């Protein structure tokens, strides 16, 4: 890859790429990106920078992430030529059963309050990543996040706006209202926001390590908070939790490119299913930005989600037929259902049984690259804040099914279907790009579209992110960004796609990309123009 050889497309790219040799960090908040870059400048590697960046995001973008949530990562270590997978998602409490939730009158899992609180996994993920692959400790990496929490940081316009959407949610819980709605309202853009309680929690973690979070007075406050609001989380659930190393799943695409994702319980499988279907179409021949090109991808993502919702679950408690779903034969079967003239209604197939989030990517000058994603799920998660810890608790339980017998049916100690997914691309066995697109069920759609832009159309990272996107909603219903021309919209509508009006405010995800030029070693970074994204390098 040579940045000067990337193709140029008709739509205007809003920014140029950031190019650096010694290190690069890209994420959704500029202050956090600079925290990671400072770690690289101080001699840390990409893993150190990723942990410092995500810790800062827990402070400066609290609407989306926190240590009360979960994390996943794909980590390329250059000296080994190996891609590591990290699953730091927490399970349901040992006392939670779907039947109890159904007896309370719920037909779908409630998204707010104590029932939806699962074990927070992210901090154990930080610990495992640093212990095995990092070079610095949390005592060093948490210094700047602690400072931002203690002394305050200025809210951006976008984060302040997202904060305002959660007023009702945070008002129902006394500790949440006290911490997140100072003086009874949301902070304004440019206002200094301080969270001294969270600063103290981070300081204890920096001094004593993550055990202080999962045992003792912090764990007690977390458990008491969830239980007081109808949840089942206990101190034992927290004390017994460990993150795990997992083998990434992958799908060859074309011309030596391979896409990699975290296996279930995450939905990275969805992106690979869609890419497997899409690779059977000659997208460049269809033409970038044409109705045919969009239609092929839109049909592929619908079929992928139909299978994802039917099969993705915690593989420790359910049979997830990954090999069958990713087989060439199954991909051909699914692809054969697509007609170029008519939109289909997606249904799950029958494979063989054998065999509001933040995303960041960091790379260092030694060739190491990290794709890291962490979330509370919905804005401010469950709406609960644990006592005087300043920690908001996630609502990942909301993704459990209450359908009896479903692979993803809620059960004790089971991890729910997870929306957050990091992405990675290798070419001919070498690290090529670390990328991701945050945003609930938009994420595998973003992986498909940004990945296609990079590989099929040769776009540079920033242009691949700037390009207009679609967002599948349900059945044949899609939202299209306004930059997609009206004639293309009309053509897609004629094929049976039900398109939301342009004026509807729909989220199209927030992505970051770092690509590495194998010839020069240059790191080429792009960041999401739809939020406060920043790529910084040196």
What lies within 8 Å, CB to CB, of 401 at 6+ separation is 98, 109, 407, 408, 409, 410, 417
Cα–Cα distance between 8 and 497 in angstroms, integer?
29
**pLDDT tens track for 270-284:** 999 999 999 999 999
Residue 4 has pLDDT above 50, yes or no: no
> What's the mean per-residue pLDDT of the chain?
94
Is 389 among the residues known to form the active site?
no
Confidence of residue 333 (pLDDT cuts 50, 70, 90): very high
Per-residue pLDDT at 357: 81
Q: Which long-range contacts (CB under 8 A, 24 or more apart) does 185-192 make?
A: 186/160, 187/155, 187/160, 187/163, 188/155, 188/160, 189/155, 189/156, 189/157, 189/160, 190/154, 190/155, 191/154, 191/155, 191/160, 192/152, 192/153, 192/154
**pLDDT tens track for 115-127:** 999 999 999 999 9
Per-residue pLDDT at 354: 42
Per-residue pLDDT at 440: 87
Q: By percentage, how much of the chain surpasses pLDDT 90?
A: 92
Q: State the angle between helix axes of 46-60 and 122-133 in degrees (0 to 180), rounded to the nearest 10.
A: 160
Residue 59 has pLDDT above 80, yes or no: yes
**pLDDT tens track for 448-485:** 999 999 999 999 999 999 999 999 999 999 999 999 99
Per-residue pLDDT at 11: 55
Residue 341 has pLDDT above 60, yes or no: yes
**pLDDT tens track for 5-22:** 455 454 566 689 999 999
Per-residue pLDDT at 3: 46
Q: Taking the domain 248-356+423-515, which CATH number applies?
A: 1.10.246.130
Helix (H, G, I), strand (E, B) or coil at 245: strand
**Which residue among the candidates 357, 361, 389, 463 is catalytic per the annotation?**
357
Confidence of residue 352 (pLDDT cuts 50, 70, 90): low
Give the start-to-end residue ranges of the domains of the chain: 248-356+423-515
Q: State the angle between helix axes of 328-335 and 291-311 in degrees (0 to 180), rounded to the nearest 10.
A: 120
**pLDDT tens track for 126-141:** 999 999 999 999 999 9
How much is the average pLDDT of 316-321?
94
Q: How far is CA 129 from CA 89, 202, 231, 374, in A?
A: 14, 18, 30, 14
User: What is the DSSP code string of 364-387?
Assistant: ETTS-EEEEEEE-SSTTTTS-B-T
Cα–Cα distance between 271 and 259 in angstroms, integer?
9
Per-residue pLDDT at 12: 63
**pLDDT tens track for 371-403:** 999 999 999 999 999 999 999 999 999 999 999
Confidence of residue 243 (pLDDT cuts 50, 70, 90): very high
Side-chain-side CA neighbours of 121 within 13 Å: the count stands at 31
* Of 109-123, 190-204, 423-437, 494-508, minimum mean pLDDT range: 494-508
Strand 358-364 relative to strand 257-261, pairing:
unpaired
Residue 356 has pLDDT above 80, yes or no: no
Per-residue pLDDT at 403: 96
Side-chain-side CA neighbours of 173 within 13 Å: the count stands at 26
Cα–Cα distance between 469 and 439 in angstroms, integer?
13
Per-residue pLDDT at 355: 38
pTM for the model stands at 0.96
């Amino acid at each position: 890859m040579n940045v000067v050889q990337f193709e140029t497309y008709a739509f205007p790219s809003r920014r140029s790429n950031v190019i650096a040799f010694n290190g690069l960090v890209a994420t959704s908040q500029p202050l956090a990106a600079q925290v990671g870059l400072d770690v690289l400048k101080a001699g840390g590697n990409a893993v150190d920078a990723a942990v410092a960046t995500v810790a800062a995001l827990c402070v400066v973008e609290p609407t989306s992430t926190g240590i009360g949530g979960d994390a996943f990562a794909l980590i390329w270590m250059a000296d080994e030529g190996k891609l590591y997978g990290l699953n730091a998602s927490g399970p349901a409490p040992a006392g939670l059963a779907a039947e109890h939730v159904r007896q309370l009158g719920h037909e779908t899992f409630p998204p707010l309050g104590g029932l939806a609180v699962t074990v927070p996994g992210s901090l154990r993920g930080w610990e495992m990543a640093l212990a095995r692959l990092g070079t610095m400790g949390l005592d060093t990496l948490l210094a700047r996040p602690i400072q931002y929490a203690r002394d305050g940081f200025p809210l951006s316009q976008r984060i302040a706006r997202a904060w305002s959407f959660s007023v009702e949610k945070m008002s129902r819980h006394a500790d949440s209202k006290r911490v997140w709605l100072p003086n009874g309202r949301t902070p304004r853009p440019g206002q200094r926001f301080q969270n001294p309680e969270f600063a103290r929690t981070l300081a204890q973690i920096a001094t004593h390590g993550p055990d202080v979070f999962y045992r003792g007075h912090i764990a007690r406050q977390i458990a008491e908070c969830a239980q007081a609001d109808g949840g089942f989380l206990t101190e034992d659930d927290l004390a017994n939790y460990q993150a795990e190393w997992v083998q990434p799943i992958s799908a060859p695409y074309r011309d030596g490119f391979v896409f990699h994702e975290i296996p279930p319980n995450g939905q990275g499988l969805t992106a690979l299913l869609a890419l497997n279907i899409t690779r059977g179409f000659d997208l460049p021949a269809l033409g970038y930005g044409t109705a045919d090109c969009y239609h092929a991808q839109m049909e592929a993502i619908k079929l992928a989600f139909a299978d994802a919702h039917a099969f993705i679950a915690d593989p420790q408690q359910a049979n997830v037929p990954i090999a069958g779903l990713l087989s060439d034969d199954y991909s051909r079967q699914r692809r054969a259902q697509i007609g170029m003239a008519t939109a289909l209604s997606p249904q799950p197939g029958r494979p063989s049984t054998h065999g509001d989030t933040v995303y960041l990517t960091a790379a260092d000058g030694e060739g190491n690259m990290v794709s890291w994603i962490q979330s509370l799920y919905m804005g401010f998660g469950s709406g609960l804040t644990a006592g005087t810890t300043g920690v908001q608790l996630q609502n990942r339980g909301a993704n459990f099914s209450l359908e009896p017998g479903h692979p993803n049916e809620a059960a004790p100690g089971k991890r729910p279907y997870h929306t957050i997914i990091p992405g990675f691309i290798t070419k001919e066995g070498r690290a090529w790009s670390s990328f991701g697109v945050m945003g609930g069920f938009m994420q595998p759609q973003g992986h498909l579209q940004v990945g296609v832009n990079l590989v099929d159309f040769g776009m540079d990272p920033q242009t691949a992110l700037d390009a207009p996107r679609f967002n599948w909603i349900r059945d044949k219903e899609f939202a299209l960004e306004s930059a997609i021309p009206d004639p293309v919209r009309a053509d897609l509508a004629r094929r049976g796609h039900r398109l939301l009006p342009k004026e509807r405010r729909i989220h199209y995800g927030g992505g970051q990309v770092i690509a590495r030029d194998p010839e020069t070693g240059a790191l080429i970074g792009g960041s999401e123009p739809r939020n406060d994204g920043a790529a910084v390098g040196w």
